[in-house]
Amino acid sequence: MGRGKFKGKPTGHRHFSTPEELRAGTSARPRTFKKEEAEVAEEEEESEEEVEEEPEKRKGTQGLIEIENPNLAKQKNVKAKDVDMGRTTELSRREREEIEKQKAHERYMKLQEQGKTEQARKDLERLALIRQQRAEAAKKREEEKAAREQKKTEARK
C-alpha cells in the first residue's frame, strides 16, 4: 500500500530465513550451494589428472598465432636450486651509464687532487694570488704596527 515518499528498488525485497525455518530446512532459499561445491571439488580432481596433457591456454588469437614480443616482460622467477651463482647478470643501459658516470667523476676528482686538470690549475693560481695578497697585507700591517710603536716610543722620550 502506501510506502511513503521513497519507493524501494523494483528488483524485489530481501527475504531472510528465520531460525525456525533454518532448523526445519524449509527456508525459501535453495540449497544448491553445497551440491555445487561438491561438483567443483570433483572437477578439480579430474582436472589435476588432465593438466599434464593440456598445454597452457591462451586468450583470444594468441593460440592461433605464435608471436615473440621483445617488449613483453617475461617472468624472472627462478627457483633457488636453478640459480647459477657464478654467472654475472647483464646490466641495463641505464645502470651501465650510471657506473661509467661515477667512474669518470672519480677519475676527474683524482686528477683534480693532483692538480692536472685545467680547473685545478686555475684554482691553484687563484690560491697562490690570494696567499700573496694576504702575505703582502700582513707585511704591511706589521710595518704599520712597527711604525706606531716607534712613534709611541719617540713620543715618550
Secondary structure (DSSP) of 11-27: T-------HHHHHHT--
pTM of the model: 0.34
Q: How confident is the model at residue 23 (pLDDT cuts 50, 70, 90)?
A: confident
Lowest mean pLDDT, pick from 45-54, 75-84, 94-103, 122-131: 45-54
- Residue 71: the pLDDT is 78
- Residue 1: the pLDDT is 55
Tell me which of 67 and 145 has the higher pLDDT.
Answer: 145
95-111 core/surface letters (b: 16 or more CB in 10 A; e: else): eeeeeeeeeeeeeeeee
Instruction: With beta carbons less than 8 A apart as the criterion, state whether 27 and 21 touch.
Output: yes
